[in-house]
Structure 1
Amino acid sequence: MRSFHHLVVLLAAAGIIGGAQVARSAQAPAAQAPVAQMPADAPSAPAGDSAPSAPVASEVEAAALTGLRNDLLSSIREPGWREVRYGVMVVSLDRGDTLFALNPDLPLAPASNMKLFSTAAAYYYLGPNFRYSTYALADGELQNGAIEGDLILFGTGDPAISGRLASGSVAVLRALADSLLASGVREVRGDVVGDGSYFDSEWLGRGWNPENFMAWYSAPIGALSFAENVVSVQVRPGGGPGQPARITTAPQTQGLAVANQVRTVASGGTVVRFEHGEQGLVISGQIGRAHPGVAHSVPVVDPTNYAAAALRSVLQEKGIQVHGAVRAIHDARESRVSLLGGNAAAGQRPHPRVLAVHLSPPLSEIAKLTNHISHNLYAEALLKTAGRVALGEGSFDAGARAVRYLLECEGGAVDTTAMQIVDGSGLSPLNRVTARSLIQLLDLMTRSEHWESYNASLPEAGRPRPEGLQRMSGTPAERNLRAKTGTIQNVSSLSGYVRSADGERLAFAIMANDVPSTWRAKRTEDAIGASLASFSRTAAPPPIPARAGAAPRHPTARQPAARATGARSYRVRQGDTLDGIARRHGISLQALQQANPGVDPRRIRPGQTLRIPNG
């Protein structure tokens, strides 16, 4: 898999922001032939054209595969649900054969399994070391400590100006203010302008449930985000009956778009409502004059306005006087920040000058947080950034096209016609992907130079949150399986990687739509994960009782292994599996395991030495 050299927003020598320069344009490839749907009881085609050819199964292996398929079907059927739509696929990344397929080409809502695509696109177009940049610029001359114009806060999509990956959201703004002070700024004659024009102004995904708009996980996504675009609002009684309530926010803001429609009453109950409206956050109702106050954390309406309002408050706190108000820019045509670089033409107003820059943590940390805690805002930011870098447009649609190009250019014969990508988080029930497309994505990422970082971004079974799934403890999947969960109303999913009992690398995708209980659906997913971790191609079925004097039909574990004579040694390399090593040396996996007692097939590591028996 070739690398797409990532965008880094550069500062020009004159202090003008350099634009997003894409190393190569994303060309839409020719249409791919449709992929045939596979029956559930027969092996399917390999996941990708680069996967190794599937070997002919021995009698023991065929029995093991049949047993696995029966186990998985039994787990799926166990709840007794008749109307549930499943899409399930399991492939061997080492052998290239399909171990199980149930409706692999059925388009289904993936829920948060959509984040697998968003983070993969971010790794592909940006790279794990990419850092977002947020700029403070002076749009006017700096004279005697005063900016003779506006102070612009320009964002490029960083979702991490918060307390999750930094010492705090306000700490980032304070650091910018300290840089301004170091540059000699003591006064801003104009406004504090938030500029979020690097992305479009479609802040909410299509199909998101309006009933969830006031929940933190539905926060709007902008190029300029602050505190994950959630604000804590405190409503207290005003000076007397009939007076407006007093409203404060944490973090503190000056100029936040809030419509205060709460009145103080002498008697009666306290009822305070929070809604989104054209005026911003609309707070309405009444509050008793003796009431201690109502506190509520809600998403803001305009993330650009929120960041600028918070910066204005921090500037005042630091002693930088601001004469103007807070404004927000959403349209690139209205932006004073040039993304083309160069100097202003003769007679034109000079470009704004960069005075301070904040750099985000590396993308590898942002992607890990995105998948570990399934953070929607971070996933949407990554999708829009991929669209901006690949196609010059920071939108949901451009991000979706960037994901398609990744699959079509790098995934071999991937048919994306059945895919419908409307957001990057999977919160929208309108998203549609297939189990096969998930498998193809997981397969191509194992061949990426960013594979280890991508794999580490997935939660691990048997570990507590946020690093783990907190599921499948006490099963062979524990500290073995890594996967992304997914849950929205009537939808559950789990897709990722697991090693079999033989150490064979498996990729799996499980999606269930129209489930009566997502909790029960996750029990099915856990059962499948444990079955895959227990699977062994070399496991013999129970021995058939032998007639007197007859040899057993199948060897059993009780039979002593032949001692390896003249054994060679082999040093494990990156990406090796016991199964692959055995086939490379022309021996059986069982013989290799017998020559290396105590070696866990799932835990071999580069540099480890194994004994290779003579074939």
Structure 2
Amino acid sequence: MKLTLFILVFIISLNSIRAQLYVDDNGTITSIKVQEITTQEILFSQGENLRLMPASLTKVVTTATALELLGAGYTYQTDFFYRGEKKGRKLYGDLIVTSYGDPTLGSRYFEETAPEMIFSAVADGLKKAGIQSIVGSLHVIADQIGYSAPRLWEDMGNYYGASPQGFNWRDNTAEVTLSSGAVGTKCRVVSIDPDIKPYSIRCEAVAAAHNNDSAYVYGIGKMQQWWIEGSIPKNRSLFKIKAALPDPIAAFKKDLIEYLNKNGIEIGEKRPGGASKEKKNIPICTYHSPPLSEIIKVVNQKSNNLFADQLLLTIAKELKGQPTWDYGNLAVREFWEDKIDFNHSFRLRDGSGLTPKNLVSAKGMVQLLNWMNQNSGNFSFYAESLARGGESGTLRSVFKHPDLEGRIIGKSGSFEGVLGYCGYATTVSGKKTAFCIIANNYLVPTKKIRITMDEFMTKVVLEN
């Protein structure tokens, strides 16, 4: 089989699998390795030392490192206190929230993290303390997190590029409802949930004849006005897109105060005489996130960028004392450099793979996957976090051959000009392998690259 439209050219027979790497004027390159885990037999290798952009394959590294350094049972906590003087059922003081960077607060990915679940616990704690109203303010104490320097500007204002913060809320995502008219006319913003004031989003997107969401949001937290460009389908009264949340703390405060006011606890009056002199924090409740073993399922199966990058920052905080991107990447490198050929195979700048500055070789990724299988006491949690070929997560649409059922688990990664798959595959003869296949710089439709990779891995599994 020879596919001349793009660089991946596979020559496949029933008895052997061989591949040749061609570089045409388009410059497409690939890095591939498939290796049996126990015997280290190499079933296939092509350009395995080439360091290519991995996109979301980066998450496979981040989650493995988090499991090893933090543990499968690691949880985030958020503490709720009050401070001040109680007179009857009225508190003259403040409601205090101390955050440790939990990315799941208010998240849609877990039932127990829904805003109502968290708010009801706070309300119950206040009522048990005999507090029916608060004359004072709501304060959130959290680390200051900078933006990832290598993150692309065009990603940062959209939900998938929402940057982790010292305090995260509702996946750091705002739902923007637009309306459109005739083709070529400018669309308008109908509503934004949650309320992002004092920030605003203006719409420069236009109505188009297609049926796609081709609208993109531009902005970062330090800009008061964000904007939308691109297009959405014509004649839609309500068309929803998602933006990054400009200020998660401000949105959380508004949501919590509204909930408390609706549920019999008034908050927000001005306190006479200025700030309370009482400095003692009285606990109300502590919220714990789902365990890390559950969080990494969302990272690897849903390819959640926010959770992945927050894990990197958490690793930095726990091991280096400060939640910075540089410390996170340093901790990852220090963990792996005496276990695999990390320094020659990886250059990582974030935890999610959003930046194109990450580089990974198929050889290095297979080494890491091998190490996890052979050496990690957390491997069962790691394997459970990965998608199943033809069934779930990012592998739902590939490896669907009926004879592959239950044989491939792993992760995909993609952005413009980049596609990759990695994970574990069990051949029909029972060989358990680690694999990685990455293509960069192609100009043909990603679908064609995906089909070829699918066919290649299917042959590897069925003919070995």
Interval of TM-score (by shorter of Structure 1 and Structure 2): 0.7 to 0.9
Give distance in 2, aligned partners of 1:294 and 1:518.
Answer: 27
1:293 deviates by: 8.0
Matched residue, 2:384? 456
Q: What are the residue-to-residue correspondences of 1:352-363 with 2, within 5 Å?
A: 352-363=281-292
Give distance in 1, aligned partners of 2:333 and 2:47.
Answer: 21
Matched residue, 1:489? 416
Q: 1:273 to 1:507 in 2, by over 3 A?
A: closer
Matched residue, 1:120? 64
Matched residue, 1:440? 367
Aligned residues: 417
Q: 1:321 to 1:117 in 2, by over 3 A?
A: same
1:67 deviates by: 5.0
**Match for 2:199: what amino acid?**
V
Give distance in 2, aligned partners of 1:284 and 1:399.
Answer: 32
Give distance in 1, aligned partners of 2:385 and 2:50.
Answer: 27
**Match for 1:506: what amino acid?**
T
Structure 1 alignment gaps of length 5 or more: 1-63, 237-244, 263-271, 286-290, 326-347, 537-615
Structure 2 alignment gaps of length 5 or more: 1-11, 180-187, 204-214, 230-235, 271-276
**Greater strand share, structure number:** 2
2:229 matched to 1:229? no
Matched residue, 2:158? 215
Give distance in 2, aligned partners of 1:356 and 1:506.
Answer: 47
TM-score (norm 1): 0.62
**Match for 2:352: what amino acid?**
S
Matched residue, 1:399? 328
2:137 matched to 1:191? yes
If you compute each CA radius of gyration, which structure gives the higher value, 1 or 2? 1
Q: 1:442 to 1:293 in 2, by over 3 A?
A: closer
1:425 deviates by: 0.8
Matched residue, 1:372? 301
1:372 deviates by: 0.6
Q: 1:233 to 1:193 in 2, by over 3 A?
A: farther
**Greater helix share, structure number:** 2
The answer as to whether partners of 1:280 and 1:302 remain within 8 angstroms in 2 is no
**Match for 2:154: what amino acid?**
E
- Pick aligned residue for 1:258 from 185, 195, 199: 199
Q: Which segment is superposed worse, 315-324 or 86-95?
A: 315-324
Q: 1:97 to 1:142 in 2, by over 3 A?
A: farther
Calculate the aligned-residue CA RMSD, in Å: 3.3
Give distance in 1, aligned partners of 2:178 and 2:458.
Answer: 50
Matched residue, 1:521? 449
Cα deviations by residue, 1:82-129 (Å, 9 ceiling, x for unpaired):
611211112111102333222222221110000001111111122112
Give distance in 2, aligned partners of 1:303 and 1:453.
Answer: 30
1:323 deviates by: 2.2
2:459 matched to 1:535? no
Q: 1:490 to 1:111 in 2, by over 3 A?
A: same
Q: 1:450 to 1:273 in 2, by over 3 A?
A: closer
Give distance in 2, aligned partners of 1:284 and 1:101.
Answer: 44
Cα deviations by residue, 1:440-467 (Å, 9 ceiling, x for unpaired):
210111121110110111111121x438
**Match for 2:93: what amino acid?**
G
Matched residue, 2:396? 469
**Match for 1:304: what amino acid?**
I
Q: 1:427 to 1:503 in 2, by over 3 A?
A: same
Give distance in 1, aligned partners of 2:345 and 2:123.
Answer: 49
- Paired-residue identity, %: 24
Cα deviations by residue, 1:49-96 (Å, 9 ceiling, x for unpaired):
xxxxxxxxxxxxxxx9995441xx16x66x988611211112111102
Give distance in 2, aligned partners of 1:94 and 1:372.
Answer: 26
Q: 1:292 to 1:65 in 2, by over 3 A?
A: closer
Matched residue, 2:209? none
